[in-house]
C-alpha cells in the first residue's frame, strides 16, 4: 500500500502580526489524511500553533489550494518564501502590489538617471547623488592619523 500525501495551503488573511511589523497570512503543510480533517486538527490545537493562533484572533483559516505531493514538495514550495503568490485569494493582489512597486522603483531610477545626466553626475552614482570627483577625492584624502604625524 502506498501512502498518498497532499500539500495544502491555508490562508488566514490579513494574517498574524510578526515582531518586525510584517504579517504572516499563510500556512503550508502536507498530510496523508483529508485536508479538511487536518485543518480541524490544527484548529483543535494539535497541529500548527500558527493556525490555532489565527483562529484564536478571530481570523478564519481555510484551505485554499492543494497539490498532490510529499514532504519534499512542501519544502520546495516553502523555500520560495512567496506563499502569497500561490494563494488564489491573495495572489492577484500580491502580484499587483509587486508590479506597482517595480514600476515605482523603475520610475525613480529613471528620474535619478535623467537628473544625474542633467547636472553632470556619473550615471552609476545617480541614486546616491555623489559625483565621480567626490568619490575620487575622498578615496585619496589622507587619514586623520596620517595628518597628525
* pLDDT tens-digit series, residues 12-22: 988 888 888 78
Task: Please indicate, yes or no, whether residues 16 and 74 belong to a single structural domain of this protein.
Answer: yes
- Phi, psi for residue 128 in degrees, rounded to 5: -95, -20
Residues 6+ apart with CB under 8 A from 121: 115, 129, 130, 131, 132
pTM value > 0.75: no
How many separate domains does the chain show? 2
Task: Please indicate, yes or no, whether residues 69 and 112 belong to a single structural domain of this protein.
Answer: no
The three cell numbers of residue 58 are 478571530
Answer whether residue 136 is part of any domain: yes
What is the Cα–Cα distance from 45 to 56, expressed in whole angstroms? 10
Task: Please indicate, yes or no, whether residues 73 and 102 belong to a single structural domain of this protein.
Answer: no
Structural domain range at position 23: 6-81
Does pLDDT of 134 surpass 70?
no
Answer whether residue 90 is part of any domain: no
Amino acid at each position: 500500500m502506498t501512502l498518498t500525501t497532499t500539500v495544502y495551503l491555508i490562508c488566514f488573511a490579513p494574517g498574524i502580526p510578526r515582531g518586525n511589523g510584517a504579517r504572516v497570512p499563510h500556512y503550508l503543510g502536507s498530510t496523508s489524511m483529508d485536508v479538511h480533517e487536518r485543518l480541524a486538527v490544527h484548529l483543535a490545537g494539535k497541529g500548527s500553533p500558527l493556525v490555532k493562533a489565527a483562529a484564536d484572533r478571530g481570523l478564519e483559516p481555510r484551505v485554499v489550494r492543494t497539490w498532490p505531493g510529499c514532504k519534499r514538495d512542501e519544502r520546495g514550495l516553502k523555500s520560495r518564501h512567496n506563499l502569497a503568490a500561490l494563494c488564489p485569494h491573495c495572489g492577484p493582489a500580491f502580484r499587483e502590489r509587486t508590479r506597482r512597486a517595480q514600476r515605482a522603483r523603475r520610475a525613480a531610477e529613471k528620474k535619478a538617471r535623467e537628473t544625474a545626466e542633467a547636472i553632470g553626475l556619473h550615471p552609476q552614482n545617480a541614486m546616491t547623488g555623489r559625483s565621480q570627483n567626490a568619490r575620487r577625492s575622498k578615496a585619496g584624502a589622507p587619514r586623520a592619523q596620517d595628518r597628525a604625524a
